[in-house]
Amino acid sequence: MRLNELKPAEGSRPNAKRVGRGAGSGLGKTAGRGVKGQKSRAGGFHKVGFEGGQMPIQRRLPKRGFRSLVRPRVAEVRLHELQLVDGEIDLAALKAAGVIRHDALRAKVIASGTIERAVVLRGIGVTRGARAAIEQAGGKVEA
């Protein structure tokens, strides 16, 4: 293979449309631009998002920033963080101990780190690996 033998794959490069070259070409007369109007004229363009003078949609809709309002606020709790809470562990206890944010609606324990003492969880989600680690340490998970 030589550089002068390189060619694009068959059918990957369509032939350019030669517009305005007579009726027989299929793109004569109006050259595929339709009839009259701003877009048929030379230099006729409009801004991206322009809606004919109507307030464009990007200005009609409110700006909400980067935080999703529909995303559920689920806090993740690691196994070793459970030891910072005394007694029975529920959502309020985790918030009081400063383990999770005060605006969290739910919490879920993930299998990260280790746990040495027995704990009782009530009303908190638990992954399969975290449940095994808690039960192995002598604790239990209640619904």
Backbone angles phi, psi at 6, to 5 degrees: -70, 135
For residue 1, what pLDDT band results from cuts at 50, 70 and 90? Answer: confident
Q: Is the pLDDT of residue 21 over 90?
A: yes
Specify the pTM: 0.52
Q: Is the pLDDT of residue 72 over 90?
A: no
Domain extent listing, the chain: 74-142
pLDDT, tens only, 36-46: 998 899 998 88
**Residue 70: predicted pLDDT:** 67
**Residue 87: predicted pLDDT:** 85
Fold of 74-142: Ribosomal Protein L15; Chain: K; domain 2 (3.100.10)
